[in-house]
Structure 1
Amino acid sequence: MGASQPTPTPPASGRGPFDRARVLPLVNWALRLLPLAVIVFVVVVGYTSPPEVRVGPLLAVAPALAGLFPRSPRTPLWVGLTAIVIGGALASTGANQGSGEPFVTLLAVLLVTMTSWAGVLVRERQERTIKEVRSVAEAVQQALLSPVPRRIGPVRVGVRYRAAAAEARIGGDLYEVILTPYGVRAVIGDVRGKGLDAVQTAAAVLGAFREAAYEEPSLPGLVSRIAASMRRRLEEDFEEFVTLLLVCFPPAGGMLVVNCGHPPPLLLHGAHAESLDAPSPVPPLGIVDPELFDIPVLSVALEPGDRVLLYTDGIIEARDASGAFYPLADRAPDALPGVEGTLDRISADVSRHVGRPLEDDAAMLLFMYAPVVGGVHDSGSHPVGAHES
């Protein structure tokens, strides 16, 4: 077993010198106080400067800033009213009389205030619309990616799905695990694209897999059935394609793998990791008819406790600030067994590596081979389907 030596994983509790969770609230409060600071500045300069120094028009800046970082829709109105009162006081007391025509200045403050207030209302309406679209999209995604059982046949299963930082939070990553007469079969894939087109393709792939996995005895035949279903269900001019990885844990033991252009799975054996590369490359579905290829099947011997990690490229293409990809093969293995703990550790490590929301959807399926003596298996009454925003 060709094993790669793991790199020690940073501790989960470690924090860098820049703690966003603590700094960002302070920055937000400073930005909200900025309009008040402008008004105070105008008052101080207005009363301490000679008449030829014109600072009165600067009062219009305060309601404009209040519209950028409002605590409520009325914030620009209160700030604008304060600026108008201050401007009137400066004009009535004779301070800063060189600021020009005071009525024009007050009118400018009023116009900026109303414009800023209208902008806040429009932005809040757009944010409500985006929130509604996001909730609908998440519901569609949840329905598309049904929960998987914690235990099915000879394997324990864990799943993590993290949506990209897009407004709709919807994309083309897909996965499914089912128990069939031919053993436990699972699929993971990634549609090239986002939005409704990607979801349409993912739905077609999952629908074909759920139907054909019970009927097709071989994994290459299952690939052909999925490809044929995609051609029937999707429009002829549809240009999306999908990378696909199929695995099967047959009753006889071990694991079978078929890979159509997807990142290869990782076999985690204790503190070692082995990439399960396909014997020969097969392109993603939607590019070339798989009937033209002799689709190879990789057979893998498993020992109790071995873990098999399936993932989408949102994991391995996650970049840090310097542009370095996440080294999954180095970070995934550890000496401790388990499914949920392994997935939690990898998810936290990816977040630390990137330091910001992911730019692509990311899904992981982890199987731990744990056959039961006597052939009695729990079909799995406790589903898991962990989704992370």
Structure 2
Amino acid sequence: MTAAGRFRQLSHRGRGVLLLPFLGVALVFVLDRASNNPDVTFEPALSAGPALAAVVSNSLWFPLLVGGVTIGEAFGIAAEDRTMSASVHTASVLAIVLITAIGAASVILRNRQERALADARLVSEVAQRILLRSIPERIGPVRAAVHYAAAAAHARIGGDLYEVVQTRYGVRAVIGDVRGKGLAAVETAAAILGAFREAAHQEQSLDKVATWLADSLGRALHENDGEHEGSDEEFVTLVLVGVGPDAVVEIVNCGHPAPLLLRRGTPVRFLDPPSNVPPLGVLEPEDVRPPILRLPLQEDDRLLLYTDGVIEARNSWGVFYPLAERVPDCATAETPALVLDRLHEDVRRHVGHQLGDDAAMLLLQYAPLPASAAPAPHRSVVHPRVSTTQADQLPLLDRGDPRE
């Protein structure tokens, strides 16, 4: 690479910054010339030049160049002051050489660390695209958006999970939180998501989807037993949501924070489960029989699903983020994506720094297509009908178990 090419490579840090070492060396020369005391020399201060060069540049040649220029000036000052044979000159030159070598070595090590970090980020991005796939803006009668922030400073995936799929039974979504962090949490999240993507298409009843996920989680934990510390104590909290063509939403909650219903003209409402069910991994898979909460939907109703990283975000006073109080202001945005962007920024302002836990938010807006544009329902599926009158009269339609 030519010198001009190397200089362009450094330009991302700003060419003005690269002039600082030379300005420092020039300043030492000016101070030495301005000194009227022949017994005072500023030559030892020249060692700051190569040290500063290693800070402002990522190229190996730059601190070497500054070091060479600095040594030349050191000899010039010594010749002018007639201190060429003095010990201070010898010590100054040795210090410049040593600092230049240390600066060059630090540049090499820093470049290696940055390359390793870039590779890790690339792997993280690829893993995220495989594990946490992007969600289309519209899925059947639902407009959807997701926002995910990992707690690790340079990570893009963690223990939170989400997914939205279109099935023959309607639109189905999941959001969950794996206990713990690190590789073990990511592997557990991958097992849950893989099972959901299969079970959502195979099981007609949403509670049976939860049983399927519990069984897959049990196998995953058994396979990872011994590989990761604490894997035998892992569990997963999650919420399953199904939006059918009959304008009724079904919700199954396994130890997860309750979703929020955002409906025009009404206060924000927590959709608490009919009865408390422990997270997956606590009970045996065959004992996982969560009840189904059913709710008739109105057009433009929004369901906010989130993980505890949102509601447990605390400010410097230890106050948790008041989600139910803040979300109405954020929900005035037109699209689900804008709502989540505003909500995330509000959480960040509340905390004042990066979140200390993984935080995922999924917003589903019921926006059915016109009858002429809607696809015909699958013939093999029989859906119960809920009249408009019934929907208006029943704020919560059914809290029972569909197998009863």
TM bracket (short chain): 0.7 to 0.9
Q: Larger deviation: 71-80 or 40-49?
A: 40-49
- Structure 2: give runs of 5+ residues left out of the alignment: 1-12, 377-404
Query: Could you tell me which amino acid in structure 2 is paired with residue 370 of structure 1?
Result: A
Alignment of 1:339 onto 2:343: no
Q: Which has the higher helix share?
A: 2
Cα distance change of structure 1 residues 232 and 46 upon mapping to structure 2, 3 Å threshold: same
Aligned residue among 11, 15, 29 for 1:43 = 29
Structure 1 counterpart of 2:274: 279
Decide which of 201, 205, 222 is 2:209's aligned counterpart: 222
Alpha-carbon RMSD across the aligned residues, in angstroms, is 3.2
Q: Does 1:306 align with 2:295?
A: no
CA distance in 1, matches of 2:48, 2:91: 15
- Matched letter for residue 340 of structure 2: L
Mapping of residues 4-153 of structure 1, within 5 Å: 35-36=21-22, 38-47=24-33, 48=35, 50-53=37-40, 55-70=42-57, 72-94=59-81, 100-153=87-140
Query: Contact 1:270 / 1:336 at 8 angstroms: preserved in 2?
Result: no
Q: Is the 8 A contact 1:87 1:102 kept in 2?
A: yes
Which residue does 1:330 correspond to in 2?
325
Deviates more, 1:343-352 or 1:247-256: 343-352
TM-score normalized by the length of structure 1: 0.78
Match of 1:371 among 368, 377, 380: 368
Task: Tell me the CA shift for residue 75 of structure 1.
Answer: 2.6
Q: Which amino acid aligns with 1:276?
A: L
For 2:63 and 2:344, locate their aligned partners in 1 and report how far apart those are by CA, in whole Å. Answer: 41
1:258 aligns with 2:258: no
Show the counterpart of 2:390.
none
**SS of alignment partner, residue 294 of structure 2:** strand
More deviation, 368-377/300-309: 368-377
From the superposition, tell whether residues 95 and 205 of structure 1 become closer, same or farther in structure 2 (CA, over 3 Å).
Answer: farther
CA distance in 1, matches of 2:86, 2:300: 79
Contact 1:183-1:250 at 8 Å conserved across structures = yes
SS of equivalent residue, structure 1 residue 75: helix
User: Which has the higher relative contact order, 1 or 2, with Cα contacts under 8 A spaced 6 or more apart?
Assistant: 1
Over alpha carbons, which structure has the higher Rg?
A: 2
How many pairs were matched up?
Answer: 353
Q: TM-score, normalised by structure 2?
A: 0.75
Judged with a 3 Å threshold, the aligned counterparts in structure 2 of structure 1 residues 88 and 266 are, in CA distance, closer, same or farther, namely same
Stretches of structure 1 that go unaligned for 5 or more consecutive residues are 1-26, 380-389
| Identical-pair percentage | 48
Deviates more, 1:165-174 or 1:219-228: 165-174
Quick one: distance in 1 between partners of 2:131 and 2:201?
A: 19
Larger mean Cα displacement after TM superposition, 303-312 or 35-44: 35-44
**Greater CA deviation, 94-103 or 180-189?**
94-103
Paired letter, 1:46:
D
Please name the residue that 2:379 is paired with: none
CA-to-partner distance for each residue in 1:142-190, whole Å, 9 max, x for gaps?
A: 1112233333333222223334453343322211112334332110112
- Aligned twin of 1:183: 170
Equivalent position to 2:236, from 242, 253, 268: 242
Is residue 218–residue 285 contact of structure 2 (8 Å, CA) maintained in 1? Answer: no
Q: Distance in 2 between matches of 1:215 and 1:71?
A: 54
SS across alignment from 2:303: strand
